[in-house]
Structure 1
Amino acid sequence: MNHFLKKGLIALAVATFLWGHEAFADFVTFGSGGSTFGMTFVEIGDAGNAADTTNTGIANTPAGSVSYKYRIGKYEVSEDMISKFNASQSLQITKSALGADKSATLVSWNEAARFVNWLNTSEGHQAAYNFTTGGVNENIALWDSADAWQQGGENRYRHKDAQYWLPSMDEWYKAAFYDPESGNYFDYATASNSPPAAVSSGDGTGANGNNEAVWGNQSSGPADITQAGGLSPNGIMGMSGNVFEWEETSENLANSSASLDRVIRGGSYNSAGNPTLVSSNFRAGRSPTSEIVFVGFRVASAATVPEPGSIAVWSAMWVGGCFLRKRRVRK
């Protein structure tokens, strides 16, 4: 076999392999110049896992079953990220002013959705949420069924082609409490069924081990996003404590009206006395326009796939090999 043709066929085989296997890049940069920032994403696999049906309290609903792979931010969105969004936009998102690396709070659901839309459009992707008015804290409109997300059931809040979004109830719950090794669920997002130790900051490597969280009425407020307590079974920080987080899903689970209350979950630094607040067994509804001092958010995204340009390069090499083979035959 001609040397160049052989190399081309090998390249094509490698390209085919890469196309069928996900790349696990987990750090994405957004913005430009002095307004650049990065977000770390962790892939959540085990698509089609069973839901948790054991909750009997306020959160008495099956949760956590997701039929597809996706990614979720390892950390909550920081004040610095919001500041850099604001620096590049005419729309200005309200936020806390506790420190650049602190979890951003006072951000409404609508404002968080504006931020997520920009993550999409700044990278050339479809916006996740259908804003038809100009106010930063005005409600979205529902997508038509033809444009709405359909995986796991119709979701008219989210566009089917969005690459970044606010995590749904099931996406958030699975990332926080699901153990991919056993297929079971923990009660706390520190890979434990016992209440976490209350700390003002930590990363799960100190005296308490991984079972620590920023809760218990910490007067210092939220911790830096990389010091927000122990990790979930999936390696996500701060899903028990630090700040409550917005879920995309409406409180009644229907996503049928833009004005419906959205869910906050996970507990916060000022959750005092009752560990249920930082457990899997608590959820509460709040208006999508509410700006609350102990509520922030994190971002979810599509699972990583190889860049189409990579396939083009390998295909060109294969075609080049064939072309050289033909030229040699003609001589």
Structure 2
Amino acid sequence: MAYCAVVRLAAARGRAGGSACRVSAGALAGFACSNPGRCVISFAAIGDWRVRGVRSRAWLSLGAALVLGCIGVRALAGPVPDYGHDFVVIGDPGNRAVNQAEGRRFFPPYAPEGFSVGRVDYRYRMARTEVTVGQWLEFVNAYAPYYDGSVSSLAFTGDWIVYAGNGSYRAIEGSENFATNMAWRFAARYCNWLHNGKGLEQAAFENGAYDTSTFGQDANGYYTDQRTHNAEALFWIPTLDEWTKAMHWDPAKSDGEGGYWRYPTSSDTAPIIGPPGFGQTNAGSGATYDVGAYSDVMSPWGLFDGSGGEREWLEFAADEGSRYLRGASWALGPPFDEIDRVTPGPPITGSGGFHIVSAIPAPGAPAVLFIIAALNPRSRGGRGLQRWNSRMGEHDETFHHPRRRPLLLHSDAPAGNRERAALHGHQR
């Protein structure tokens, strides 16, 4: 019995799909699996597949051997749990990418020739709001027994969670529904944890969406972290395409032709800074509010907090030194909301929050799915984008901005801001 991501079987009795493949004698010339979700199968000519008792004739006439990358497919035999997130389905698969008039920084000289952003060829779900302090606190306390870093590290806790002693953490009063920040690596572990049903064993945090055994640095200081989520992941950090589509693409724009709004507020005009009920965003104000507080300001798909709240981690990595973030935050103003503004951040710093993405639940009836994918359609590599990183640094002031400014304690800011400032010295 060997692990294989290429087949996910929903048994006729309605049980959840398995991830193991049994292949009959003579079908395989060799089988190697370096890590779950990234397998290589070598088939010799023709063979019978037996997958948990289901037999199908596989005519594979490819000469000596056929090598397939088992990197994509899952058949979800039942609903994917929401775990307290309000998910919105992002449809319109095959939408066009951002054009140069809509996002000039996605084109030369800022980006390499042929770079494309925004098109997504599948349906997916994205949480309506950013991950909240309360949701993150549950994760922090679950992972705490395995965490060996500083108890005051904002990469782990974010701004609003503090150590309570005896191995546990608490949220600053009144902050439970604020958007939270964290390091990219801990966001990845959060996705693993949800993927594994919020299990409390350490293995539940270390693989599922992202293999944390890849998290490290080489001799040159480059990060070795897995670049894209596993094909069978149920939850993951959004790709650049997924985030851009969910926040900016409107199928009804331009009299139904579809198009991208400049800002993630269904508008080509920058949102007005001010408290809920008066303004449209807290971007750059220093004040913090509950997620979804600007209830009349949303993306074309009904997502909140694309502007303000926290900057948002993307899965997208342009080089070995950083991941990328999108959107403005309580500390950075609306110019950072522009569709073609992205900023880099090391995956080990608490630089942003995120809207979690989820797989689409399967229909009610069980199904058997056999798909072999040569490429993961949700993956976007990035090794060829080092030029983009440097060029955008030359042309775009985004790359010269600090991640954090001192807190601005406005009179309308929640009292918790003052406690946060005292605890963290006004800086993240």
TM-score (structure 1 length as normaliser): 0.67
In structure 1, what is the equivalent of residue 42 of structure 2?
Answer: none
Deviation at 1:140, TM superposition (A): 6.3
Distance across 1 between alignment mates of 2:178 and 2:146: 22
Q: Which runs of 5+ in 2 are unaligned?
A: 1-75, 148-155, 161-171, 217-222, 368-428
- 2:232 paired with 1:173: no
Matches within 5 A, 1:215-234: 215=283, 217-220=284-287, 222-228=288-294, 230-234=297-301
More off after superposition, 279-288 vs 88-97: 88-97
| Alignment CA distance shift 1:26-1:141 (3 Å) | closer
Do 2:263 and 2:337's aligned partners in 1 also have CA atoms closer than 8 Å? yes
Deviation for aligned residue 1:242: 1.9
Specify whether residues 173 and 120 from structure 1 end up closer, same or farther in structure 2 by C-alpha distance, changes over 3 A only: same
Task: Tell me if structure 2 keeps the 8 A contact 1:129–1:140.
Answer: no
Would the aligned equivalents of 2:117 and 2:240 in 1 still touch at CA under 8 Å? yes
Structure 1: 4+ residue segments shifted above 4 A: 58-61, 123-126
Report whether the alignment pairs 1:248 with 2:312: no
The Cα offsets for residues 109-159 of structure 1, whole Å up to 9 and x where unpaired, read as 001101111010126897110111799xxx6643xxxxxxxxxxxxx5210
Matched, 1:287 2:346: yes
1:213 corresponding residue in structure 2: 281
Aligned length in residues: 248
2 CA distance for matches of 1:225 and 1:27? 21
Measured after TM superposition, the shift of residue 304 of structure 1 is 2.2
The gaps in structure 1 that reach 5 residues or longer are 1-21, 30-37, 143-155, 253-258, 312-331
Report 1:85-124 matches (<5 A): 85-89=139-143, 90-92=145-147, 93-97=156-160, 99-105=175-181, 107-122=182-197
1:102 partner amino acid: F
- Larger RCO (CA under 8 A, 6+ residues apart): 1
> Deviation string for 1:220-269 (max 9, x for gaps)?
2x3211215610001100112221100011035xxxxxx43111111111
Residue identity matched to 2:104:
T
1:251 and 1:284 in contact (8 A); partners too: no
- Letter in structure 2 aligned against 1:198: I
Q: CA distance change for structure 1 residues 57 and 101 in 2, over 3 Å: closer, same or farther?
A: same
Residue 140 to residue 223, structure 1, CA distance change in 2 (3 Å): farther
2:85 is equivalent to residue 39 of structure 1: yes
Residue 98 of structure 2 is matched in structure 1 by 52
2:214·2:225 contact (CA, 8 Å) conserved in 1?
A: no
Higher helix content, 1 or 2:
1
C-alpha distance after superposition, 1:9-28 (max 9, x if no partner): xxxxxxxxxxxxx9xx8971
Listed one character per residue, the Cα deviations across residues 201-223 of structure 1 (whole Å, up to 9, x for unaligned) are x3xxx456xxx2221x3132x32
Aligned mates of 1:287, 1:228 — CA distance in 2: 30
Residue equivalent to 1:127: 208
In 2, Cα distance between equivalents of 1:141 and 1:270: 28
Deviation (angstroms), 1:199: 2.0
3-state SS of 2:138 partner: helix
What is the distance in 2 between the residues matched to 1:172 and 1:157?
A: 15
Q: Which residue number corresponds to residue 388 of structure 2?
A: none
Percent identity, please. 28
Amino acid at match of 2:208: A
8 Å CA contact 1:76–1:298 kept in 2: the answer is: yes
Question: Matched residue of 1:71: which SS?
Answer: strand
Taking only aligned residues, the RMSD between alpha carbons, in angstroms, comes to: 3.2
**CA displacement at 1:95 relative to structure 2:** 1.5
Equivalent residue for 1:12? none
SS of 2:292 mapped into structure 1: helix
SS at match of 1:157: coil
Change (3 A) 1:141 1:308: farther
Write the deviation string for residues 295-320 of structure 1: whole angstroms up to 9, x where unpaired. Answer: 211200111223556x8xxxxxxxxx
State the one-letter code of the partner of 1:192: S
Once residues 288 and 225 of structure 1 are traced to their aligned partners in structure 2, the CA distance between those partners, rounded to angstroms, is 24
1:238 to 286, 290, 305: 305
> For residues 209 and 305 of structure 2, what CA distance do their matches in structure 1 show?
24
Alignment of 1:188 onto 2:254: no
